[in-house]
Amino acid sequence: MKAGIIGFPQVGKSTLYRAAGQGLAKGTVTAVPVPDPRFDKIVTQVQPKKVTPATVIFEDDIEAVQPSGKMFSQRFLDDARKCDLLLHVVRVFDTPMAPYHDSVDPTRDLDAVEVEMVLTDLSIVENRLERLQKSMTVKNPGSPDYLEKALFTKIHGPLQDGTPIRGMDLDEEEQKIVRNYQFLSGKQCVVAFNVGEGEAAVTPPQVSALMEGLLKKGTQSFTLCATIEEEIAQLEAADQPEFLESMGLAEPAANRMIRAIYDALGLVTFFTAGENETRAWPLARGSSALKAAATIHNDIAKGFIRAEVVSYADYCEHGSLDSAYKANKMRLEGKEYVVQDGDLLHIRNKS
């Protein structure tokens, strides 16, 4: 899972990146563990030799959006299209350093980037539709060109009206075509409103309204003061609670950010708890036990027999996997079982 950080110059992208890295970020790409108290509890109980949390990879090398002229450079487009999700940082603080816009206006800045994404995708769709007119197979039902023309014709009108592809109702086959083209407005997006230090614990009214509007469109968002969050990330873990309390914050914003990314990508977490390694695995919501097995290793999926499943609630109730098994809380499930968030799995396979 790669989240690319985007936004205008001087909005706090790199500061947020360092904050997310919890003081460990080096270079422009870093893997950040997903905070999960459930995983921490399992690790404490199992005491494995190796601990592997789920992670989100943050990319801080995407060129800044330009405030005038051509907003998206070719380098921006190339890098952004490689990401699974775009984390858009929007300025909500005064600074003389911003080389654009005299006033703070998160609505203006948010809309400008969203509109440019839609226009970029619209250009691709129109160019492709023009080429498809010359295709010899475009009139053959079921052919790739036929399916592409049907989809691009369907999304052309909404794009013209300013609707991003992520907000359109597309079936799985249509989504596959969309993914092949790496449309910017088709990627999930999370918005980080970067506020001033005096508003670190209070969401400005204008931002609250924006967040409500984004949520109605299915877009996750949150507020933070990246400068303060970077300070928090540099503290020892034992010193963080006191500092957070003094700032009126319940937890580091990095936790909320990663949860927002998880939600936006439609992910759940399942666990494998072994003495050699205990691991948290991200998985698309609604995925089968067979898909979970393939996430662990393709060979395990090929030899899939059954999945031993213990829910996290049953694990907690009985204190360990062994105790849950003895209490008959382990269920044997087949390939089509839909993995639930927090499930502890062991895959029986032909090896």
**pLDDT tens track for 61-96:** 899 998 877 899 999 999 999 999 999 999 999 887
pLDDT of residue 218: 84
**For residue 102, what pLDDT is reported?**
64
pLDDT tens across 110-119, in order? 999 999 999 9
Q: What is the pLDDT of residue 101?
A: 56
Per-residue pLDDT reduced to its tens digit, 292-321: 999 999 999 999 999 999 999 999 999 999
Instruction: Quote the pLDDT of residue 156.
Output: 96
Question: Does residue 112 contact residue 6 with C-beta atoms inside 8 Å?
Answer: no
- State yes or no: pLDDT of 7 exceeds 80: yes
pLDDT value of residue 100: 60
193-203 per-position pLDDT tens digit:
999 988 888 88
What phi, psi does 103 have (nearest 5°)?
-100, 160
Please give the average per-residue pLDDT across 237-242, as a whole number: 88
Examine the pLDDT at 247 and tell me if it is beyond 90: no
Domain boundaries, the chain: 2-264, 286-349
**CATH fold of the domain at 2-264:** Rossmann fold (3.40.50)
Pairing of strands 50-52, 277-284: parallel
- Beta strand pairing status for 277-284 and 267-273? antiparallel
pLDDT tens, 171-180? 989 999 999 9
Regarding predicted confidence, which is higher, 307 or 205?
307
Least confident segment among 52-61, 89-98, 203-212, 319-328? 89-98
Q: What is the pLDDT of residue 94?
A: 86
pLDDT at 99: 65
Looking at domain 286-349, does it have CATH number 1.10.10.10? no
pLDDT of residue 21: 83
